[in-house]
Structures are given as C-alpha cells and as structure tokens.
Structure 1
Amino acid sequence: MSIIKFLTSKVFVKQILLAVVAIGVLSFMALKWLKISTNHGDFETVPNLTGKSINMAELELKDNNLVMQIQDSSNFNPDYPKFSVIDQDPKPGSKVKENRKIYLTLNPSGYRNILVPNLEDKTFRLAKSTLEALEFRIGTLTYVDNIGKDIVIGLKYQGEPINPGDKLPKTSVIDIVLGNGNRP
C-alpha cells in the first residue's frame, strides 16, 4: 500500500477525526475543571489597612478571606502610630483571589539608632553637613577658649557629652562645642 492510498483511506481519516474529537472533549473538560477549581470570576476586595494596628489588620483580612504577610518595617513615620500599617501590596480596592497574601509594611517603634561620627578637630561647616546628612539636627552652639576658630571641640546630647561611635536615634538634636579662636 502506498503512502498516498494510506492517507486517503477510510481507516486513517476515521482515526484522525476520532483524535480531533478526543482533543476537543479533553480540552473542554480541562477548561471546565479549571473554571471550577480556580473560582473563576470570584474576587475579594482588598481593604484599606493604612494606619491600623496589626491585630485590626489581621481581623479585617480574615473577614475578607485574605492572608496577612508582614513584609518588613520601614523607616519610622511619626504621622502613624507605632507598629501600624504604613503600606500594603496589593493596594486598597484591588480585586484578588480568596486566600491571597497581602504584604504589609509596618511602622517601627521609633527612629533607628545611628552611629555618631568622629567630628573632633573638624570645621563646623563639615560637622554640620555631616550631621545633617545623617539626619541629626543641630542644636545649641557653645564656644569655648581654643585657638582653632569654629573647630569642633566636642558634641553633646541632652547636656551629656557623646563620643564617636555612640548611637543616637535619628533626628536627635546634637549640641556642638566649638573653639572661639582665643588662646586658653
């Protein structure tokens, strides 16, 4: 039997038609199964959790059949209470599937501590820019007798001397002791 006669035979055409019908039926059944098993068209709306405590956020997510996942703490934001939600992903109002993880970013308990740099014998201008770059604030400037005019003699925090390497909360007010250019 030649290949052309085989391809035009009733047996071959019948087998091809059966294969096409079988693929069509299996595809239809797979699509129906996927629609049922994935809850196609059923969505939950993500609530707005910004500013809420962890416990309130967890309760609200459970009520909406969603799962809480704490992603990380961010930089301290004084506009929100400690340990409250300051960001979430997906955003509020988004439509998601049931049991979807909602990633939350929390407000830490306070500003993080930053190492105080060694600024002794540096100029006031350098000390000021360095402290401000680290997000410290400059407090009172005190001048003492020292031959170096506007040279940093020491740093103080809340009236107490601080040393290089000490840790202070970000945005702390640091007082600077400077030389006035007079001989001691």
Structure 2
Amino acid sequence: MSLGKFLTSLTFFKQLFLAIVITVVFLFALIKFLDFRTNHGEEINVPDLSKMKLEVAEEKLDEDGLEVFLLDTVDFRPEFPPYTIVEQDPKPNSKVKDGRKIYVKLNAGGFSTVTMPDLINKTFRQAASTIRALGLVEGKSKYVPNIAKDVVLEISQNGKKLKAGDKILKNSTIDFVLGDGKELFKEEETDSLTQQLIDTTATN
C-alpha cells in the first residue's frame, strides 16, 4: 500500500485517533499527579507558635506539613519564657502551602549584662538617657545639699552603690542621688548672718 493510500485509509485515522486519546489521557494523568504533589488549591492555616519551645514547634509544624527555621535569638523579653518563640513569619492564621518554612526567633535565656559607664558629675538628663540606651530602668531620685543642681553624685541598685565598670543585668533599676543646688545659698546666708553679728557687736 502506498503512503498516499495509507494516509487516507480508515486504519490510519483509527491509529491517529488512538494516539490522540493516549496523549490526552497521559497529559490529564500528569496534571492530576502534579496537583497532588503540590497540593494545588489546598492551603494550611499557620498555627500560633508564640511561647513554644523550638522542639515543640517542630513537632507541631511537622504534623501540619510545614517546617520551622530558626533565624536568631533576641534579647531577653520578660513576658516570654526563656528559650521560647517570640516572633514568627508568616504570622499566625496566615494561609500557606504544604512544605512552607516558618521562620522564628527565640527568646534569650535571661537578661544579658551591661557595663556601667561613669555617670558621676553628669547631669541627670544625660545620665537618664545613657541608662535607657543600655536597657536599664530609671528608678528613684534623691536630692541632697550640693552646689550643683541636678548633677549625679551617686548611683545605686537595690541599695548597693555602683561605680563605673560594674557589671549589672539589663532591665535593672538604677537609683540616683542628685545635687539640689541649694548649698551655695546656705553658705551665702551663713556669711550674711555672721557679718550682721559682727556689725551688731561693733556698734554695741
């Protein structure tokens, strides 16, 4: 049979139709397989991992078909237990696909230490700004007679006097002893009274 007659024969068209059907079925099966592998159209609700230990979060996410990835450890936050998750991305209740990584940050095990700078003879405003920048807390201020007003004369923590170079924990409360700026005036008043007494004695 010549090629021309074969291409116009019923046998050719039957084989062509069969090939088309097989191709369509194969493509349909391939698409369904890919949809199954990628969970096409299916989304997972991201759980809230806040305050969870890392190993607990790993088990939880594994059950949901997700993964956890530790990014960093942050400075200690007292409102969270030590070594628990404080931040996550994506956020809780976000919709994600199966296999998505959830990025987390852990709380430190406790407050880190800072070195006390030299705050003596600094103004209270300067000292307060410095301790806040170090992660410390401004406590009580006590005024005592001194020529310099609002100048730091002494600093302490829980009644213990501190000096430059001391190591203390972040979030510690620092108390201040400040000058009231009145000592000069007291000295001037004393000198004036002394002079008045001398003048009175001389007149008598």
TM-score range, shorter chain: 0.5 to 0.7
Q: 2:141 aligned with 1:148, yes or no?
A: no
Q: For 1:47 and 1:124, locate their aligned partners in 2 and report how far apart those are by CA, in whole Å.
A: 47
Q: For 1:36 and 1:47, locate their aligned partners in 2 and report how far apart those are by CA, in whole Å.
A: 23
Q: 2:119 aligned with 1:119, yes or no?
A: yes
Q: Deviations over 1:126-179 (max 9, x none)?
A: 223332344422334345565434322232222333233434333211122334
In the alignment, what sits opposite 2:59? 59
- What secondary structure sits across from 1:151 in the alignment? strand
Q: 2:45 aligned with 1:45, yes or no?
A: yes
Q: For 2:100 and 2:45, locate their aligned partners in 1 and report how far apart those are by CA, in whole Å.
A: 11
State how many pairs are aligned: 157
* Structure 2 CA distance for partners of 1:149 and 1:36, relative to 1, 3 Å: closer
For residues 1-184 of structure 1, the aligned pairs below 5 Å read 29=27, 32=31, 34-35=34-35, 37-143=37-143, 146-180=146-180, 182=183
Do the aligned partners of 2:85 and 2:105 also contact (CA within 8 Å) in 1? yes
Q: Deviations over 1:82-134 (max 9, x none)?
A: 22222211122233233321111222223343332321211223223332344
- What secondary structure sits across from 2:55 in the alignment? helix
- Residue type matched to 1:106 in 2? L
Q: For 2:123 and 2:93, locate their aligned partners in 1 and report how far apart those are by CA, in whole Å.
A: 53
Q: Name the one with the larger helix percent.
A: 2
RMSD, matched Cα = 3.1
* Structure 2 CA distance for partners of 1:65 and 1:37, relative to 1, 3 Å: closer
Structure 2 unaligned spans of 5+: 1-22, 185-204
Task: From the CA coordinates, give the structure whose radius of gyration is larger.
Answer: 2
- Tell me by how many angstroms 1:56 deviates: 2.1
Q: Give the alignment's TM-score, normalised by structure 1.
A: 0.66
Q: Give the alignment's TM-score, normalised by structure 2.
A: 0.61
Structure 1 unaligned spans of 5+: 1-24
Q: For 1:129 and 1:78, locate their aligned partners in 2 and report how far apart those are by CA, in whole Å.
A: 22
